[in-house]
Structure 1
Amino acid sequence: MVNKSKVTINDIAKAVNVTAATVSRALNNNPRISEATRKAVQKAAKELNYQPNNIAAALRHGKSHLIGVIVPRADRAFFSSVIRGIEEIANEINYKVIICQTYEDLEKEAQTIETLVNARVDGIIASISKNTIDFSHYQSAIDKGFPVVLFDRTSDQVTVNQVVIDDYYGAYEITKHLIDQGSKSIAYLTSPIKINIYKDRLRGYMDCLADHNIDYDERLVVESNLQLQDGRQSMEKLLSGQRTPDAVFSASDYGIMGALQVLKERGIRIPEDIALAGFGNEPFTSFTDPTLTTVDQLSITMGRVTAELFFDQLKGSKKKHHEPHKTMLKPGIIVRQSSLKKGLNQENSPISEEYKELP
């Protein structure tokens, strides 16, 4: 009896009474193999529980048709939508995606990259964890010839292709919207993590204030991890401070959701007393009461663009010199009830209640 845990193409060849070379061709749908032989081989492979050695195949053919996608958390709507966009492109050319999560842990991120390299994936698409300050694990994969593309959370410390949204623009425009609605004391919930997206969003907020002759007040800027509970604590801190804001903008929808909960519990009117705006367009933002104004990160589009860039790089991977570049997508602003102090004038407002990509 064949040991099913170690079935090889030689075992299939004996079962079908053909050569091992014929089995290999049949399993790879070689047109030289007849339909009858192909079906017989596939039937025997299934009955024997044959599992192909993808690593060995990758070494032989130079391609595994697998790509590793690394995200901080796959249960976040943004990252799951990016993965969907990546898979849409990958599936069109018969590539499979291995999804890995780092849970914002640097060591796990490094281990994941090592595992993907050892599994002989054709390349890696990743969004770095909040705690990544050392990029030697990415550089190691690059030095071994693996294409790497970063999206959303990127860093200039590693020289690779990147796909991002214009975080500066999104933060600037949503701050401007709050100012246009009459807000003059705008608080900002940010992250202490010094990755590009948070630095750019803070710059957008600060520059918009300056351009509208509003003084920057560090008392109105609260740093946290921008999760739901952080948003609650940040809002409590702002309400107990020396200067109460008339609007709050958060670099994360989760942070602004926490702020909304506190304001409702205290009976503070939204947006009449304090207007709210977030960043990310998480699904829950359209179901809250009031609904939340936010920045749309174009997640599915980002996934598709990232995958297209990755496969373009993969096609040209034999070139000796590759000049990485950053692809920047312009985000949309979605205005909802939480920020409309003046109400929405469809004729005069540059932003509509529905998604609109600003010029």
Structure 2
Amino acid sequence: MATKTKITIQDIAEKLNITASTVSRALNNNPRISEETRKAVLKAAKQLNYQPNNIAAALRNGKSHIIGVIVPTADRTFFASVVRGIEEIANKLNYKVIICQTYDSYEKEVQTIDALLSARVDGIIASIGKNTENFSHYKKVLASGLPLVLFDRTTDQLDVSQVGINDYLASYKIVEHLIKEGCTRIAHFTSPKKISIFRERLRGYTDALQDNGIPFDENLVISSNLQLEGGRQSMEKLFEAGELPDAIFSASDYGAMGAMQVLKERGVAIPDRVALAGFSNEPFTSFTDPPLTTVDQLSLTMGNITAELFFEQFKLKDKKFVPQRTVLMPEIIIRKSSLKKG
């Protein structure tokens, strides 16, 4: 005989010999229900391991008190820290967070949006995947009337609130630092994808060169997935090209770490022969040998501000809400990997 796995309010009602409507009112703390009945219902619900139907509750009340948070991957310190910042604000307001990973897959991102909408979340906070160029699934969120806030990886194609850092300025300052250390042939590891943050980091790189009288060389700009293996492959390409640059600025710490591995394997001194700088201030950057120069993206602060913007919009959803763009000033962290002058 099959065992019933889903307990309903009808099961509680039968156990206590009362009506299902009485159980429902008791579970929702209706003042018409006596304290004695309420306690009996709660006790029976616990004994039967009753789990409320949140979707049904959301349909009745118009609120699920759940926010969907979409990230490319949760195993990166940056995204994990942003999520923590979001949760700090959400939990204070009695909201829970569902974390969804897209692994930079456009198809996965579309499916995730559909799943969150079906789950009746109260809104969505997202960082766009590298492979996303069509934003119709996000427009579906807006059409539903739910709040949508983007962070870090954003787009100008959606009229929504966005939170990020000044990627252009951070990149400019890193390259300027390398130039001050005496570097004149600086390579840049970037992404082939059309995400704004990588475009801005490339723009900061090129402008810093130009403003300091260093000609731009397209052969020194190498695209990859900016992961560890991508950094290794990009470094190998520079070796194959012949003359090594005297510095490398990677748009991600993982790309810089891949370059560092190859340089060490080939016996190239860091930073004396080739200086290195990354981006994101991943925890490992302070433990590499030498420690890696990088950019702190203020991830926890970014998460806090993103959540605050979300709830500000949520409170005003029946009124006209004007999307806001918040740009945080990054912190450049100089370490030994880029200090050619000691």
Tell me the TM-score range normalised by the shorter chain.
over 0.9
Q: Distance in 1 between matches of 2:325 and 2:233?
A: 36
TM-score (norm 1): 0.91
Q: Which residue of 2 aligns with 1:234?
A: 234
Cα distance change, pair 182–34 in 1 and its aligned pair in 2 (3 A): farther
Q: Distance in 2 between matches of 1:79 and 1:38?
A: 42
Q: How many residues align?
A: 342
SS in structure 2 at match of 1:86: helix
TM-score (norm 2): 0.95
Displacement after TM superposition at 1:335 (Å): 1.0
Q: Distance in 2 between matches of 1:141 and 1:164?
A: 21
Q: Which residue of 2 aligns with 1:55?
A: 55
Q: Distance in 2 between matches of 1:191 and 1:6?
A: 48
SS in structure 2 at match of 1:240: helix
SS in structure 1 at match of 2:322: coil
Q: Distance in 1 between matches of 2:158 and 2:254?
A: 29
Cα distance change, pair 32–264 in 1 and its aligned pair in 2 (3 A): farther
Displacement after TM superposition at 1:306 (Å): 0.6
Q: Which residue of 2 aligns with 1:348?
A: none
SS in structure 1 at match of 2:304: helix
Q: Which residue of 1 aligns with 2:338?
A: 339
Q: Distance in 1 between matches of 2:34 and 2:101?
A: 43
Does the CA contact (< 8 Å) of 1:219 and 1:243 recur in 2?
no
**Deviations, residues 239-293 of structure 1 (Å, cap 9, x unaligned):** 2324421110000101000000011111111111111000011111111111101
Q: Distance in 2 between matches of 1:317 and 1:42?
A: 34
**Deviations, residues 39-73 of structure 1 (Å, cap 9, x unaligned):** 32222112222121111111111100011011111
Q: Which residue of 2 aligns with 1:85?
A: 85
**Deviations, residues 309-332 of structure 1 (Å, cap 9, x unaligned):** 11111111111x322121111111
Does the CA contact (< 8 Å) of 1:4 and 1:49 recur in 2?
no
Displacement after TM superposition at 1:140 (Å): 1.0
CA RMSD of aligned residues (A): 1.8
Q: Which residue of 2 aligns with 1:207?
A: 207
SS in structure 1 at match of 2:99: strand
SS in structure 2 at match of 1:300: helix
The code of the aligned residue for 1:61 comes to: N
The code of the aligned residue for 2:155 comes to: S
Q: Distance in 2 between matches of 1:32 and 1:83?
A: 40
**Deviations, residues 335-354 of structure 1 (Å, cap 9, x unaligned):** 111011123xxxxxxxxxxx
Displacement after TM superposition at 1:182 (Å): 1.4
**Deviations, residues 60-114 of structure 1 (Å, cap 9, x unaligned):** 1110001101111111111111111111111111111111111111111101101
Cα distance change, pair 218–40 in 1 and its aligned pair in 2 (3 A): same
Q: Distance in 2 between matches of 1:248 and 1:43?
A: 64
Q: Distance in 1 between matches of 2:46 and 2:87?
A: 27
Q: Which range is displaced more, 235-244 or 205-214?
A: 235-244
Displacement after TM superposition at 1:19 (Å): 4.6
Q: Which runs of 5+ in 1 are unaligned?
A: 344-359
SS in structure 2 at match of 1:131: coil
Q: Which residue of 2 aligns with 1:27?
A: 27
Does the CA contact (< 8 Å) of 1:231 and 1:255 recur in 2?
yes
Q: Which residue of 2 aligns with 1:174?
A: 174
Q: Distance in 1 between matches of 2:280 and 2:33?
A: 52
Q: Distance in 2 between matches of 1:25 and 1:180?
A: 70
Q: Distance in 1 between matches of 2:307 and 2:32?
A: 33
Cα distance change, pair 335–38 in 1 and its aligned pair in 2 (3 A): farther
Q: Distance in 2 between matches of 1:192 and 1:340?
A: 29
Cα distance change, pair 290–17 in 1 and its aligned pair in 2 (3 A): same
The code of the aligned residue for 1:337 comes to: K
Residue 143 (1) aligns with residue 143 (2): yes
Q: Which residue of 2 aligns with 1:355?
A: none
1:224-303 aligned within 5 A: 224-303=224-303
Q: Distance in 2 between matches of 1:111 and 1:34?
A: 45
Q: Distance in 1 between matches of 2:35 and 2:249?
A: 63
The code of the aligned residue for 2:269 comes to: R
The code of the aligned residue for 1:43 comes to: K
State the identity %.
68
Q: Which runs of 5+ in 2 are unaligned?
A: none
Q: Distance in 1 between matches of 2:37 and 2:92?
A: 28
Q: Distance in 1 between matches of 2:295 and 2:29?
A: 47
